[in-house]
Structure 1
């Protein structure tokens, strides 16, 4: 190691270890919500000084998949937003301790207060032929209901790595129930039947109002501004160290003791590879994988390009440390099937109110009230959301922002005749206006809109078919100072692709690693509540919801 490399190593090590106490230092790899939550639980529940916590992030800011950025001139971008609902007990436990940016309340209180004011109640969950469908019927036949019932009670072990499509006949995937289900949660027919089953049970309490999105909760602004920024501010105030633009590429192991331990963290910073020593009392918490790795942004006049290079290094790190270690899971199950996990989202910035006015008149919902609007006739199976405005802190009053996505990005559009993955933002807007049957005002809207597409190769990789052991335990067996968090560790009963899963994994990691006499709030199991079961069964069997 030359002198400059020694200085770089020492600089990172000093940041990571200054003021460390006898309880050791905590190295958190990845700057997404799981790591941020773990840092908060360490401070709040384990009395760890913030200066003893370092978060390593390959990008230039934390937040991971809960991102949001942009300007009125260049256009705003949010790659996506996770659905919230009232039973996210770990999430609300965490954010009950985090003040809002203005300090007026906790983030949790702000969310609940906001959703008591603006309740999600869609009057146009589906739009066909330019017409809204209020409370669309589920269209489930008796055979579909029997299969749903069987999946709900069949143990996961019997489902194995089967697909959803292995359990249903093709006509199930043409029902309104499936169209609403798959677009709300982003499921594909080839995804894991086990994950589908978990969702059926986890959200059973929402079944009666599912066709109007009752119970779905939103933040005041996008989730980066409403959740990540307040949490980051709180962590900064407690002295947590952030190492941005630092990509962790490997962990060095010490296998000489009764339990294995991580002894060093190998990372790349400013084009130098350095190793951070991990002391005996230190702990390492790693976020595995990334649903937004390899994301590629296009523009109004430029299509997004499929990006084979994961600049975050999240998948490469998992593959490296898992090689020859079954207890670290099997990352290739999730990382090597982008054709089954990718789709495209887009964010549109408007300076002209015409589109919002027309959509409001069509749906009967004001922005922020209606939630997801899906176009079942779309070859892309496209959906949009018009959130309450402003959607970004600092967004001018005369600017409006909405978000959308499509599940079938390889199919040609109904109006532009090109696969969604190859479309510019303007072409995506053209397709959308076609499904909305907007003609007279189309040119005016297109000339005004800034539409930024985002192609994400791994966005539903956590839904891919898997077997036991493909996702590792939060604290792998045989390891003294290592834990895994995020969407790709195993948490029984809970559902991936949610903020709740990441926060629960962080809470579990902290309490288990430190041997604290406490546990994360239990997963809500509405399927054990007779009232929930009755409501779900009644809704699914309701002839008005089953047939047109």
Structure 2
């Protein structure tokens, strides 16, 4: 029955790509009837990876994975063939890679004296433990749109736990208490091993090469069309008997406006909002330009659809305060092994086994991570890539007398070498490309439950939302899993798929996990 249904997906991020795959695999939709519209030249959305060895590689971010969670993600990627290992799925090759390269950080925090901080203790006082427990046990209705700072005293934000948890997941003290509570429960298994990051799993390469490319390749083999450089300006809706039906898409491609009719039995999936919207890159000699949603128009369609339609959410809760939702990352391409050699000696970790190294006394709160090499498919021999980011790029550096926001790649490397007490000559052959992301943690902003639409809003006949800005009970944003789960929920509901969606794993209900967390909290 579903072979005749056509589906149109607005945005080419992991949510849309996953929705297309679930429609084909589980709902019997003909791949040739699925079209994805993407405004950028490449699909993948926030799971990006670009550049080359000569001009410098670029990564806006790197998503951490776990095999103990991410139920929907692995359910999907067990069905997607590897591009490099015949007969294996993406899941198979990822699991095998992580068996060979296990995470066990030995330099999670570094202090101003360049000493590796002893992080076996979380540094809690009894007041910290009491307040953290109260927040973790409060129901979401009581938490409302409160911030973390409404529940935890100022001293909490100087504990070793906060430095590790905040930089692992990119939390700020002013972010949503609800989201922080969800993280405490979803990743309670990681609480007891946060200092080693032993639960973190990685893809073979960056997530674009390891997840997006094989997924897109499989979709195209099924006949799915991906239309690049095409911006959807409006989704026309008809209301009849209280039911909303998408009837047309208004698009702009190559400067030409077109309208695509949507039949009543057809489906539309919309990626509302983007954490990497209006992001911009700098260079070794220039800081990234300061853009916002007016430059990209990336939030405009959701704002238009949500006007006078509360069931479509409230984008203003997320995109109204760049100072509270932005940070800056940087990608460094090296053609000299000296830096990796010194970092491996300093940290005690071979690249790919250590996770984040956070400079806890850095004014910028800077962290770096050395991935297993090569980190890009086709990366030449003798080239190495590492990534870093800072949660407070608006503050003056410790070694460079200006905010990170105004720094070139060269100045960021100077600040990094200052924290490590490395001679800048070690960076003579380095290319550092900074990236400013004004909305990167916008989904962490304090919000009410009603500010996020359901994957299929009430009374919507054929329009679904798949993104980091929908309401998925119990799960946590800023993860690949959240987008994939939202997509699976939307597809199964609209197409009445009877297959069960993998439930969220409740490790927080395990007696052992609870006991391990309690012991860790009192160390």
The normalised TM-score by structure 1 is: 0.93
Question: Structure 1: how far apart are the matches of 2:481 and 2:504?
Answer: 10
Question: Structure 2: how far apart are the matches of 1:379 and 1:92?
Answer: 38
Specify which of 295, 299, 312 is matched with residue 283 of structure 2.
Answer: 299
1:489 maps onto 2:470 in alignment: yes
2:480 aligned partner: 499
1:119 aligned partner: 102
Question: Structure 2: how far apart are the matches of 1:438 and 1:61?
Answer: 37
Cα deviation, residue 229, structure 1? 0.4
Question: Structure 2: how far apart are the matches of 1:103 and 1:215?
Answer: 25
Question: Structure 2: how far apart are the matches of 1:259 and 1:156?
Answer: 29
Cα deviation, residue 127, structure 1? 1.2
Is the contact made by 2:281 and 2:289 (CA closer than 8 Å) also made in structure 1? Answer: yes
Cα deviation, residue 257, structure 1? 4.6
Specify which of 95, 100, 110 is matched with residue 82 of structure 2.
Answer: 100
Is the contact made by 1:293 and 1:310 (CA closer than 8 Å) also made in structure 2? Answer: no
Question: Structure 2: how far apart are the matches of 1:124 and 1:522?
Answer: 35
Cα deviation, residue 322, structure 1? 0.7
The normalised TM-score by structure 2 is: 0.98
Is the contact made by 2:56 and 2:432 (CA closer than 8 Å) also made in structure 1? Answer: yes
Specify which of 38, 52, 69 is matched with residue 33 of structure 2.
Answer: 52
Question: Structure 1: how far apart are the matches of 2:292 and 2:353?
Answer: 38
Is the contact made by 1:136 and 1:176 (CA closer than 8 Å) also made in structure 2? Answer: no
1:13 aligned partner: none
Is the contact made by 2:246 and 2:462 (CA closer than 8 Å) also made in structure 1? Answer: yes
Instruction: Report SS of the residue matched to 1:178.
Output: helix
Cα deviation, residue 518, structure 1? 2.6
Call closer, same or farther: CA 1:43–1:311 in 2, change over 3 Å.
farther
Kindly report which structure 2 residues correspond to 1:441-452, keeping only aligned pairs within 5 A, or say none: 442-443=424-425, 445-452=426-433
Is the contact made by 2:5 and 2:29 (CA closer than 8 Å) also made in structure 1? Answer: no
State how many pairs are aligned: 520
For each residue in 1:159-196, what CA deviation from the matched residue of structure 2 results, as whole angstroms up to 9, or x when unmatched?
11111011111111111100001000000000000000
Structure 1: which 5+ runs fail to align? Answer: 1-19, 543-548
For each residue in 1:21-57, what CA deviation from the matched residue of structure 2 results, as whole angstroms up to 9, or x when unmatched?
7642001110000000000000100111110100010
Is the contact made by 2:339 and 2:427 (CA closer than 8 Å) also made in structure 1? Answer: no
Structure 2: which 5+ runs fail to align? Answer: none
Question: Structure 1: how far apart are the matches of 2:296 and 2:488?
Answer: 24
Kindly report which structure 2 residues correspond to 1:242-321, keeping only aligned pairs within 5 A, or say none: 242-257=226-241, 259-309=243-293, 313-321=297-305
Call closer, same or farther: CA 1:345–1:256 in 2, change over 3 Å.
same
For each residue in 1:123-148, what CA deviation from the matched residue of structure 2 results, as whole angstroms up to 9, or x when unmatched?
00011222223545210111111111
2:347 aligned partner: 363
For each residue in 1:457-476, what CA deviation from the matched residue of structure 2 results, as whole angstroms up to 9, or x when unmatched?
00000000001210011100
Question: Structure 2: how far apart are the matches of 1:206 and 1:61?
Answer: 34
Question: Structure 1: how far apart are the matches of 2:141 and 2:241?
Answer: 34
Question: Structure 2: how far apart are the matches of 1:68 and 1:248?
Answer: 24
